[in-house]
Amino acid sequence: MNEFDYIEKYFQPLTSDEARNLKDDAAVFKQKSNHDLIISTDTLAEGIHFFGNENPKDIAKKSLRVNLSDMAAMGAKPIFYNLAISVPKYKVKNFIPKFAKGLFEDQELYGLKLIGGDLTSSLQNISITITIFGETLNKKSISRDGAKIGDMLYVSGVLGLSKIGLDNFVSKSKSFISAKKRYLFPQPRVDLGLSLNKIANCMIDISDGLIQDAGHLAKNSSLSVVLDIAKIPLPSINLNKSLLLDAALYGGDDYELLFSCKPIYEKALKKISLEKNIALTSIGFFEGFKKNYVKLKDNNNYLKNKSYMHF
C-alpha cells in the first residue's frame, strides 16, 4: 500500500463533512458568528514522549489526549483536529491500522473528528503532530494571564502519578499499575474545563510539572503565587513522601487542570467536584509580585530548577 491507500482506508473513515473525504487540499469550516475558534498544536516524538514499542493504539490515544488537554485548559469544546504523522517504512504496515483504531475509539469518547493532515515516511523514528480546534462563546476562553491578587489556586486530581509511572515503567510490581496507566493514557479534563469556563480567572494544564506551570500563570499575570506543599494532592502509592512530592512538583505529564479563582467560588467548586467526581484542591494563592513568581509557604528549599525542558 502507498500513502494514499493508507489515508483512504484508515484515515478517511475518521473524518467529518468539513474534511471533504480528504479529496481536496484543505478542509472547509464555516465558523459560527458568536463563537471563537480555539487552536492548539502539539508534537509527540518517539524516544521523547513515548518509547515507540507501545501498542500503536495507545500511542494514538496519548497523542490525541494531550491535545484535548489544551482545549480543557482553555475552557473550550473540541470539535476536530488535523494529523501529520511520519512513520518509518518498515513500521507502517503494522503501525497505521492499530494507530487509526486508537484514534477512532477516542474520537467516539471525546466527540470530535479528523479533518485532514499528512502522512509521510521517516528514516527511523515516529513523529506525530496534531493541530486541534475547539470553540467557545466570543471572548469566553480562559487564558494564562487572568489571575488576580487574592485569587486561590486550585488543581484537579492528584499530581506526580504519571512521572512515577514513567520511572517505574519496567517494574513488575502491581503497585505501579495505576501510575503506568496514567503515563500511557492521560485523562484530559475536557468536561471540567467547560464547567470552569465562568469561574476560573486563569488556567493551564500541567504538562511540565506544578512548579513550572504555576510559574507560567504567575508570570503571565505579573503576580507571585504562593504554594502550600502540605496541601498538594499526592498519589496513594507506597513510596517515600519526598519522592512523591518531587514527582508532583517537577514530574509533568499529569495533564491536570491548574487554575485560579476568587474565594467566593469555593461552594461552586465543591458542587462541580461532586458532579464530575474529580477532586479539586486549593493549594495556594496569588499576591502582588515580590521577587519570585513562585514561592512556597513554609520551605523554599523545595524550589529547584528541575522541571522538564526540551532544550
Instruction: Summarize pLDDT for 154-176 with one digit per residue, the tens.
Output: 999 999 999 999 999 888 888 89
Q: Which residues contact 54 (CB under 8 A, 6 or more apart)?
A: 184
Residues 130 and 187 in one domain: no
- Bridge-based pairing of strands 202-205 and 77-88 is unpaired
Same domain, 120 and 167: no
- The H-or-E segment that residue 44 falls in is strand 35-45
**Is residue 143 a part of any domain in this protein?**
no
Mark whether 174 and 289 lie in a shared domain. Answer: yes
CATH of the domain at 229: 3.90.650.10
* Residues 106 and 243 both lie in one domain: no
pLDDT tops 80 at residue 272: yes
Based on the fold, state whether residues 117 and 158 are members of the same structural domain: no
> pTM of the entire structure?
0.91
Structural domain boundaries enclosing 121: 3-137
**Residues 77, 36 within the same domain:** yes
**Cα–Cα distance for residue pair 85/38, rounded to 1 Å:** 22
Query: Would residue 144 count as lying in a domain?
Result: no
Strand partners, 224: 287
178 within 8 A of 236, measured Cβ to Cβ: no
Same domain, 15 and 110: yes
Residue 143 burial (C-beta neighbours within 10 Å; 0-12, 13-18, 19+)? middle
Nearest to 68 by CA among 184, 187, 204, 162: 187
Residues with Cβ < 8 Å from 35, sequence gap 6 or more? Answer: 135, 136, 137, 138
Q: How confident is the model at residue 307 (pLDDT cuts 50, 70, 90)?
A: low
Whether 126 and 169 share a structural domain: no
Question: At which residue does the C-alpha cell 519570585 appear?
Answer: 292
Which among 12-21, 59-68, 294-303 has the top mean pLDDT? 59-68
Count of structural domains within the chain? 2
